[in-house]
Structure 1
Amino acid sequence: MTVEGILKLKPNKIVISPGPKDPSFAGISEKMIRVCVEKDIPLLGVCLGHQAIASALGGSIIRAKNIVHGKLSQINNDQFGVFKDLPKNFKATRYHSLVVDPDNIPPDLSISAKTKTGTIMGIRHKNNLIEGIQFHPESIATEFGHQILNNFINL
């Protein structure tokens, strides 16, 4: 698949899913993210997709202080965008060893969610309908996962 091939499909929204390694190994993901910004196509990045959003827009990805695989964490969120109508705090499943560097957030992004210990769990573009979440909404153990995905669909 190519960015051009995806654009020929005329998507009204795009999801960049989880995957292994770091954004530099995520194929066309970073290019697709920049095109979504340019063409104002709503996009949701999950896990690796979340990291790819930050990386594509100039942020850094670093090794997490604590590696988490299949662990639940409390997510503190801003209750906007994909977090609309959710409680301020909920539990979500995490599977990752890399995170968005809090000391190098691109100027076009804001932090929309964190863990209790301050690990970034959500980012949002300031001018476009582009959001990233580090945790897995599709996991059965994540509270409100379906609502998060519905919120993205209804952006």
Structure 2
Amino acid sequence: KTSLVHHGGKGVLAGLPDPFIATRYHSLAVDPSTVPAELEVTGTTESGVIMAIRHRTLAVEGVQFHPESVLTEGGHRMLANWLEACGDSEAVARSAGLAPVVARATQP
């Protein structure tokens, strides 16, 4: 299943189109009423399902979709944003122009 994720471009979602397509393989979701004050919701579906969240002061983020999936738009950029936050200052530049490669079986 894919969903459009709306966001404000923070953290791992920086530089992505708003909205972007994300791949979901499950129906798990955070109940918005349980989100503590130290966390902020950074991405939601059109229906309000929380798809991304981050700590307000610590470098802790989470997404409720699969950035590595070939169906997720901007997955390479999300992973590069995370690598950059971990200290790899060249990660975002290396991710420019990358797209998933889907191999086809060759015909005999």
TM-score, normalised with respect to structure 2: 0.76
Structure whose residues are more often helix by fraction: 1
Give the whole-Å Cα distance in 2 for the aligned partners of 1:113 and 1:134. 9
Give the whole-Å Cα distance in 1 for the aligned partners of 2:73 and 2:27. 21
Give the whole-Å Cα distance in 2 for the aligned partners of 1:138 and 1:88. 18
Give the whole-Å Cα distance in 1 for the aligned partners of 2:30 and 2:17. 23
What does the per-residue CA deviation read over 1:82-126, in whole Å, with 9 as the maximum and x for residues that have no partner? 011111211010012221111110121000000001000000100
Q: 2:44 aligns with which of 110, 114, 121?
A: 114
SS in 2 for 1:141: coil
Structure whose residues are more often strand by fraction: 1
SS in 2 for 1:87: coil
Give the whole-Å Cα distance in 2 for the aligned partners of 1:142 and 1:72. 8
RMSD: 0.7
1:137 partnered with 2:67: yes
Give the whole-Å Cα distance in 2 for the aligned partners of 1:108 and 1:136. 24
Give the whole-Å Cα distance in 2 for the aligned partners of 1:89 and 1:74. 6
Q: Structure 1 segments of 4 or more deviating over 4 A?
A: none
SS in 2 for 1:98: coil
What does the per-residue CA deviation read over 1:34-70, in whole Å, with 9 as the maximum and x for residues that have no partner? xxxxxxxxxxxxxxxxxxxxxxxxxxxxxxxxxxxxx
SS in 2 for 1:137: coil
Structure 2 spans left out of the alignment, 5+ residues: 86-108
The alignment covers a number of residue pairs equal to 85
Give the whole-Å Cα distance in 1 for the aligned partners of 2:43 and 2:77. 16
Give the whole-Å Cα distance in 1 for the aligned partners of 2:27 and 2:10. 26
Q: Percent identity?
A: 47
Structure number with greater Rg is 2
Tell me by how many angstroms 1:128 deviates: 0.7
Structure 1 spans left out of the alignment, 5+ residues: 1-70
Match of 2:10?
80
Give the whole-Å Cα distance in 2 for the aligned partners of 1:126 and 1:138. 25
1:91 partnered with 2:1: no
